[in-house]
Amino acid sequence: MEAFRTLDAVAVPLPRPNIDTDQIIPARFLSRPREVDHAGFLFHDARRLPDGEQDPEFALNTEAWRNARIVVAGKNFACGSSREAAVWALFDAGFRCAIAPSFGDIFSNNGMKNGLLPVVLPADVVEAIIAQVEADPGARIQVDLPAQTVTAPDGSVHGFEVDPFAKHCMLEGLDEIGLTQSYEEEIAAFERRFGRENVR
Amino acid sequence: MSETMFEKIWQKHRVLDRDDGQTLLYVDTHLLHDGGATAFDFIRNRGLKPRAPERIFATPDHYVSTSTRKVEEIEDPRHREMVEKLDRNTREFGIKQFGLGTEGQGIVHVMGPEQGLSQPGILLVCGDSHTSTHGAVGALAFGIGSTEVAHVLATQTLWQRKPKTMRIRVDGTLSDQVTGKDVILAIIAKIGAAGGTGHVLEYTGSAIRGLSMEGRLTLCNMSIEGGGRAGMVAPDDTTFQYLAGRPHAPKGAAWDTALDRWRALPSADDAVFDAEVSLDGSAIQPMVTWGNSPEDALPIDGRIPDPSKAVDAERREQMARMLVYMGLEAGTPLSEVAVDRVFIGSCTNSRIEDMRAAAAVAKGRKVAGSVRAWVVPGSEGVKRQAEAEGLHDIFRAAGFEWRQPGCSMCLGTNGDIAQPGERVASTSNRNFMGRQGPGARTHLLSPAMAAAAAITGHFTDVRRLLAGEA
Ligand code: SF4
């Protein structure tokens, strides 16, 4: 996985709550292997008008936010399906961080295993940041994972929590399987207790 | 010993704890479906193979056609390839697959309990968010992403940070035609689509105890729609009767020792949960959703809500957008909303009891001329049982299409989708924008309520239909 340390990038506002993973990437694009560039599937339907043309009102379609690498969203961002392709679509389109008051649990896990940092901030802080980036399209946000801070366009600094293990893996770009294999002895000992039976 | 059921299962599955708060958990049972090819690519690229293939069980569901059982007849080559890949991957690594046309094939969350693979006290995972379903038997079961699936394939373990617990108590006696589906929609309407985020939900109370196994599976299935990491119901005689004699359930002396263990699983009376919610079961009515989040659910006698009465501007804007997408006007009684399609199926509501409930409504009646109605049994086992009971004849005589088992219109990855603007009464679990096809308008409800909508052509209180009033 690509390591994540710090990021200074344009942030796009998606102020709605409950933006689900079906909107982030519609189901009909899920049969593609990871090697396929998923950027074109990102919000494929949500960013288009019923006639198939790009909706000029959709934030990601506007010039100022075309190069955004951070999304700032309403609560329960990326809820719903476990499709990891939701992370791939964001990642392939350049996103490395999502900020919201809460996330779908599985998306958070998927993000941290793919170099896309989910940052939970209080709802009022997220609201304020959204107001700032909406007022100044193209405004940048700084994310510092070692320090666990987000610096909003107005210069205010906000701390965030992150699981120490996930932080370590993201900072180093670690592949968890390799790490888990270093515990082979413990896993094998556990297995010897139960054989093929269910754990009891 | 004031542990919750979740805590007991968690403790037993700990391989090790790290100082940073992460726990490595051992996975008893890993279920796979045909959407999981990437995880195999992932381990193959690293020169790895499944560590414990005997703990893995697979079945194709997302990409199978519901009009044929022949893989070669799947029209879209991409879809066919997904089904074929599962077949190849399971053969290559010696994983048991319940293949197309065989007794065990079905939606992975219907197959697991039906085969007796989902058992009390186990840790079960699957690369699908509705894995929460299996918690209905008293298992700890949750969905994971494909990187995690690869991790479980390679190591049979998973890193987790301990989630919080929430007890959802539903007491009272449910009214006639109020099902597990209505209970879970009422719960999500109360706690919100993010209400359970970060929590494992345990459902308790007399109304839950009174639910059949099928009802509990429906309930736990939609835990994820309330944000829950997992959902669970303590095992009891209902659970044991359901599991007894199933192909993968313990047999003979092993059954007896398993029973002793399972009876010790329920949360202690004085167990403390991080959050508590309670609902009056006797007040729950048949529910129908109107918006694009499962939290947007109302009793059938309700009216489409008015955005101008929303609590804040954000909700107002969201409601207005949903009404536009859904083609609905504030104030319209739900019972006046006409439907174009009816879908009875999905891992939420495609078990034998669901088939029976819908057939009881369909019997001797006719699907409205304006409606196209489908029944898609959740598994080959459900299909065969339903056919043995003659339910397929009842459905066909009423004008429903009786199809082959799979996920079908729940998500449409196999091509079973509604057209833009079509309104679907669906027994599935997600009413998200575009879920059943671009522009499709999904309303969630129970199988009996869906059948009633098919007959009358609009949402109807099934109790009124059965009483001859609608
Ligand atoms: S029936 Fe629907 S929700 Fe269930 S596993 Fe299939 S696609 Fe997912």
* Digit-coded pLDDT (tens) for B434-457: 999 999 999 999 999 999 999 999
Task: For chain B, give the mean pLDDT.
Answer: 97
Tell me, yes or no, whether B240 and B298 share the same domain. no
- From the alpha carbon of B348, which atom of ligand 1 is closest? 4
Atom of ligand 1 nearest to the CA of B345: 1
Q: How far is CA A55 from CA A26, A44, A50, A60, in A?
A: 17, 11, 9, 9
Would residue B244 count as lying in a domain? yes
| pLDDT value of residue B161 | 95
Of B244, B276, B308, the last residue of a domain is B276
Identify whether residues B319 and B395 lie together within a single domain: yes
Residue A1 lies in a domain: no
- Count the residues in chain A: 200
Name every chain B residue with its beta carbon within 8 A of the beta carbon of A165.
18, 20-22, 159, 161
Nearest CA to ligand 1 atom 5: B347
Q: Is B425 in contact with B341 (CB distance < 8 Å)?
A: yes
Q: Which of B110, B225, B346 to mutate to test the pocket of ligand 1 (most atoms within 8 A of CB)?
A: B346
- Cβ distance B145 to A176 less than 8 Å, yes or no, reads no
- Report CB contact under 8 Å: B145, A110: yes
Residue A56: inside a domain, yes or no? yes
Please report whether residue B240 resides in a domain.
yes
Tell me what pLDDT residue B379 has: 98
Among B219, B248, B276, the domain boundary falls at B276
- With a cut of 70, say whether residue B39 has pLDDT above it: yes
Chain A environment of B46 (Cβ under 8 Å): 177
Q: Evaluate whether residue B421 is within a structural domain.
A: yes
Q: Which of B225, B344, B411 to mutate to test the pocket of ligand 1 (most atoms within 8 A of CB)?
A: B411
Q: How many helices (H) and strands (E) does chain B have?
A: 16, 19
Q: Which of B145, B193, B225 is nearest residue A82 as measured by Cβ atoms?
A: B145
Any idea what the Cα angle at residue B275 is, between residues B274 and B278, rounded to 5°? Answer: 150
- Residue B322 shares a structural domain with residue B371: yes
CA distance B193 to B233: 20
CATH of the domain at A73: 3.20.19.10
HSE value, Cβ hemisphere, 13 Å, CA-based, for B185: 30
Other C-beta atoms lying within 10 Å of the C-beta of residue B408: 32
How much is the average pLDDT of A117-144? 98
Helix axes A164-172, A105-112, angle to 10 degrees: 40
Distance B9 CA to ligand 1 centre (A): 26
CATH number at residue B416: 3.30.499.10
pLDDT, residue B470, reads 78
Complex ipTM more than 0.90, yes or no: yes
Measuring CA to CA, how many Å separate B67 from each of B64, B100, B102, B417, B424? 9, 12, 15, 14, 20
The answer to whether residue B283 is domain-embedded is no
Q: How far, in Å, CA of A157 to CA of A150, rounded?
A: 6
Pairwise CB contact (< 8 Å): B147 & A186? no
Residue A72, domain member (yes or no): yes
Please list the residues that pair with A149 across neighbouring strands. Answer: A144, A159
Q: Does residue B282 form part of some domain? A: no
pLDDT in tens, B110-131: 999 999 999 999 999 999 999 9
Mean pLDDT of B61-72: 96
Whether B270 and B332 share a structural domain: no
Q: Is the pLDDT of residue A37 over 90?
A: yes
Residue B249 lies in a domain: yes
Asked if A160 and A97 touch (Cβ cutoff 8 Å), the reply is: no
Q: Residue B52's closest CA among A34, A83, A190?
A: A190
Cβ-proximal residues to A184 (8 Å cutoff; 6+ apart), any chain: none
A27, B411: Cβ pair inside 8 Å?
yes
* B185 lies in the same domain as B301: no
User: Do strands A140-144 and A149-151 pair parallel, antiparallel, or not at all (unpaired)?
Assistant: antiparallel
Mean pLDDT, range A129-142, rounded to an integer: 98
Give, in order, the Cα–Cα distances in Å from B274 to each of A33, A131, B132. Answer: 40, 34, 19
CB B136, CB B211: distance < 8 Å? no
**Range list of H helices, A49-183:** 85-92, 105-112, 123-135, 164-172, 176-181
pLDDT tops 80 at residue B1: no
Question: In the predicted model, is pLDDT for residue A58 greater than 90?
Answer: yes
B416 and B302 fall within a common domain: yes
CB B111 within 8 A of CB B53: no
The string of pLDDT tens digits covering residues B193-240 is 999 999 999 999 999 999 999 999 999 999 999 999 999 999 999 999
Classify B70 as helix, strand or coil: coil
Residues A139 and A26 sit within 8 Å (Cβ to Cβ)? no
The whole-number pLDDT of residue A175 equals 86
Say yes or no: B268 and B309 in one domain: no
Give the separation between CA B38 and CA B376, rounded to whole angstroms.
Answer: 27
List, for residues B359-371, the tens digit of each pLDDT value. Answer: 999 999 999 999 9
| Total domain count, chain B | 2
Closest residue to A200, CB basis, from B12, B15, B198:
B12
CB contact under 8 A, B123 and A199: yes
Residues B144-163: what's their mean pLDDT?
Answer: 97
**Contacts (Cβ under 8 Å, ≥6 apart) of A188:** none
Q: Across the interface, do A164 and B148 touch by the CB < 8 Å criterion?
A: no
Report the half-sphere exposure of B147 (CA within 13 A, side-chain side): 23
Ligand 1, atom 4: closest residue by C-alpha: B347
| Both structure tokens of A53 | 């043309």
Most A-contacting residue of B42, B146, B441 (CB-CB within 10 A), to test interface = B146
Average pLDDT, integer, range B317-323 = 96
Whether residues B56 and B200 fall in one domain: yes
Q: Are residues B155 and A87, on separate chains, in Cβ contact within 8 Å?
A: no
Coil, helix or strand for B343? strand
Whether the predicted pLDDT of B82 surpasses 70: yes
Q: Are residues B265 and B292 both part of a single domain?
A: no
Contacts of A134 in chain B (CB under 8 A): none
Taking contacts as CB-CB distances below 8 angstroms, the residues of chain A near B224 are 80
Dist. CA B236 → ligand 1 center (Å): 27
Are the C-beta atoms of B350 and B107 separated by less than 8 Å? yes
Do B323 and B262 fall into the same domain? no
Within 10 Å of residue A70's Cβ, how many Cβ atoms?
26
Average pLDDT over residues A68-93: 97
d(CA B356, CA B221) in angstroms, rounded, equals 19
Pairwise CA distance, residues A140 & A68, whole Å: 9
Select from B339, B310, B344 the least CA-distant residue to B326. Answer: B339
pLDDT at A200: 87
Whether residue B59 has pLDDT greater than 90: yes
Global pTM value: 0.96
B353: helix, coil or strand? Answer: helix
Query: What φ, ψ does residue B264 adopt, rounded to 5°?
Result: -90, 0
Strand order through the sheet with B441-444? B401-402, B372-375, B341-344, B423-426, B441-444
Residue of A nearest to B439 (CA): A50
C-alpha B254 – ligand 1 centre gap (Å): 33
CB-neighbour burial class of residue B93 (10 A; exposed 0-12, middle 13-18, buried 19+): middle
Q: Quick one: B292 and B269 in the same domain?
A: no
Partner residues linked to B142 by β-bridges: B125
Nearest to B127 among A20, A82, A191 (CB): A82
Sign of CA dihedral A156, A160, A166, A167: positive
Query: Where in the sequence is the domain holding B359, given as residue range(s)?
Result: 288-466
Q: For A18, which of B78, B147, B193 is closest by C-beta distance?
A: B193
Calpha distance A56→B119 (Å, rounded) = 51
The secondary element (H helix, E strand) that includes residue B355 is helix B352-362
- Is A180–B157 a contact, with Cβ atoms under 8 angstroms apart? yes
Q: Between A and B, how many CB-CB pairs are < 8 A?
A: 174
Give the helix/strand (H/E) hosting B382.
helix B380-388
- Average of per-residue pLDDT across B53-62: 98
The reported pLDDT for the residue numbered B58 is 98
- The residue of chain A with its CA nearest to that of B154 is A177
- Going from the Cα of B362 to the center of ligand 1, the distance in angstroms, rounded, reads 24
Residue type, B143: G
For B394-421, what is the mean pLDDT?
97
**Is residue B458 located within the same domain as residue B428?**
yes
Query: Cβ distance A16 to B432 under 8 Å?
Result: no
Q: How many structural domains is chain A composed of?
A: 1
Final residue of a structural domain among B276, B298, B333:
B276
Cβ of A76 within 8 Å of Cβ of B12? The answer is: no
| Nearest CB neighbour to A26, from listed B35, B197, B434 | B434
Q: How far is CA B189 from CA A132, B265, B309, B409, in A?
A: 32, 29, 17, 24
> CA-CA distance, B431 to B433, in Å (whole number)?
7
Q: Residue B115: inside a domain, yes or no?
A: yes
Average pLDDT over residues B293-299: 98
Which two three-digit tokens encode residue A113? 């295993």
Which pLDDT value is given to residue A50? 83
Task: Supply the range of the domain harboring residue A98.
Answer: 6-197
| Pocket lining for ligand 1, CB < 6 angstroms | B 61-62, 107, 109, 128, 130, 346-347, 407, 410-411, 428-429
Residues of A whose CB is below 8 A from B145: 82-84, 87, 106, 109-110, 113
Measured in angstroms, the CA of A79 and the nearest CA of chain B are apart by: 7
Handedness of CA B386, B388, B394, B399 (dihedral sign): positive
Instruction: DSSP for B143-174, please give it.
Output: E--HHHHHHHHHHSEEEEEPPEEEEEEEESPP
